[in-house]
Amino acid sequence: MMYDFAVAWDWMAFVVRWLHVITGIAWIGSSFYFIALDLGLRKADDLPPGAHGEEWQVHGGGFYHVRKYLVAPAEMPEHLTWFKWESYATWLSGFAMLCIIYYAGADLYLVDPNVADIPVSSAIAISLASIVFGWIAYDLICKSRFGDDNTRLMLGLYIILVAMAWGYTEVFSGRAALLHLGAFTATIMSANVFFVIMPNQRIVVADLKAGRVPDPKYGKIAKQRSTHNNYLTLPVLFLMLSNHYPLAFATEYNWIIASLIFLVGVLIRHYFNSIHSRSGNPTWAWPASAILMIVIAWLSTEPGVERRDAVEDISLSKLQRQFASAAGFEDVTLTVMGRCAMCHADVPSWEGIRWAPKGVLLETEAQIAAHAREIYLQAGRSHAMPPANVSYMEEAERALIVAWYEAAIAR
């Protein structure tokens, strides 16, 4: 039946999100490990020709002896493990999440008429174009003379990211803007693996098989891109989680918050990279990060851009109008306003809550119709809302929600 589609769709989103987390852990874990390994390499008198350094490690009850060749060993080893699918699967599952939540639900999650009243098709086109633009612009800069200086290159990339953070908040809803900045950055990272790191490694392997001496430039370029990925990882994780926290996305200065998060991520990675390389102990990175987080917390208290001053400004889709006209909507409206609106309000009345959870407002009929699917899944099909049933929603009221939603979908 049609109403089962909402449940199936939500489970699909859950499974894809789970896959995204699994593959992300695999990719980030291997990335952090190899950066730490690379920085911890030590010279030894008995290193074979071409070896840059070695490291002894202990794990799982055994010892590991690892050596790194800057270019390549003299001969092609019989067994070679490639690290690539972790990156590809993370990006593919992330893009699937973007399609499932922000493209399929664009009228609710992607487009905010109070930010930019644009058609859904235009918003999706801007989303895709911006992601592609990010990789092309970054790659061209890396290959230019400007990219010869890695510090200068990172500063240039930061300026681009700040500009994109501001630009996204001028086009999309707050939660979509920060999510897109994360997708923009993650695409650069995964494309680094797909278009640069892996092809360069294949060239080196092909040279070895053909008996040629590999050109060291390919390893140098791959190393540069891998380092960029290392420093961008923590900000991307924050941006991917930000859609769950209105304090991050639903404020006037959300783009500045996102920009500062990149600095926090770089500081934390600088600390750990310095520790791994034994080049110093920059403990100052932690108080500096703490100060930036305090600034971010202060910025988050500014008025939310997600709040709507006029209910009439909300443009309902055909499906949402269908919910508003379905049998039982009046009773559901009274239930939601009585059990949910004390938190999901422009100015929440529930003690301790300053902003509506996830920026969802349920004070008007238009807002309730716009969030019909979420109400059905969170308060009808499940008991997720209200949390711990603090407003004492009765089973009969939940049944009203289910009957109303299913009746609307069946029309």
Half-sphere exposure of 402 (CA within 13 A, CB side): 13
Q: If you ran DSSP here, which 8-state letter would residue 213 be given?
A: P
Residues sharing a CB contact under 8 Å with residue 92, sequence separation 6 or more, in sequence order: none
pLDDT category, 131, cuts 50, 70, 90?
A: very high
Q: Is the pLDDT of residue 306 over 50?
A: no
Full-model pTM:
0.82
What does the pLDDT read at residue 3? 53
CA distance 157 to 326: 50
Q: Please write the tens of the pLDDT for every residue from 28-43.
A: 999 899 989 989 899 8
Q: Is the pLDDT of residue 2 over 80?
A: no
CA distance 267 to 255: 19
Q: Please write the tens of the pLDDT for every residue from 183-205.
A: 999 999 999 999 999 999 899 88
What does the pLDDT read at residue 359? 80
Q: Is the pLDDT of residue 309 over 50?
A: no
CB of 376 closer than 8 Å to CB of 114: no
CB of 262 closer than 8 Å to CB of 208: no
List, as one string, the DSSP characters of 245-314. -HHHHSSTTHHHHHHHHHHHHHHHHHHHHHHHHTS---TTHHHHHHHHHHHHHHHTTSPPTT--S-GGG-
What does the pLDDT read at residue 64? 92
Q: Please write the tens of the pLDDT for every residue from 369-407.
A: 989 888 988 898 888 888 888 899 999 999 999 999 988
Q: Please write the tens of the pLDDT for every residue from 197-236.
A: 999 989 988 888 888 888 888 888 988 999 999 999 999 9
Residues sharing a CB contact under 8 Å with residue 403, sequence separation 6 or more, in sequence order: 328
Q: Is the pLDDT of residue 318 over 80?
A: no
Q: Please write the tens of the pLDDT for every residue from 243-299.
A: 888 889 888 899 999 999 999 999 999 999 999 988 889 999 999 999 999 999 999
pLDDT, average across residues 104-126:
90
Half-sphere exposure of 17 (CA within 13 A, CB side): 10
164, 170, 174, 180: CA torsion to nearest 10: -30
Residues sharing a CB contact under 8 Å with residue 105, sequence separation 6 or more, in sequence order: none
CB of 142 closer than 8 Å to CB of 220: no
Q: Is the pLDDT of residue 303 over 70?
A: no
Give the amino acid at 362. Answer: L
pLDDT category, 313, cuts 50, 70, 90?
A: very low
In which residue are the tokens 């309902």 written?
A: 316
What does the pLDDT read at residue 243? 87
Residues sharing a CB contact under 8 Å with residue 25, sequence separation 6 or more, in sequence order: none
In which residue are the tokens 């939540």 written?
A: 101
pLDDT, average across residues 316-328:
81
CB of 128 closer than 8 Å to CB of 172: no
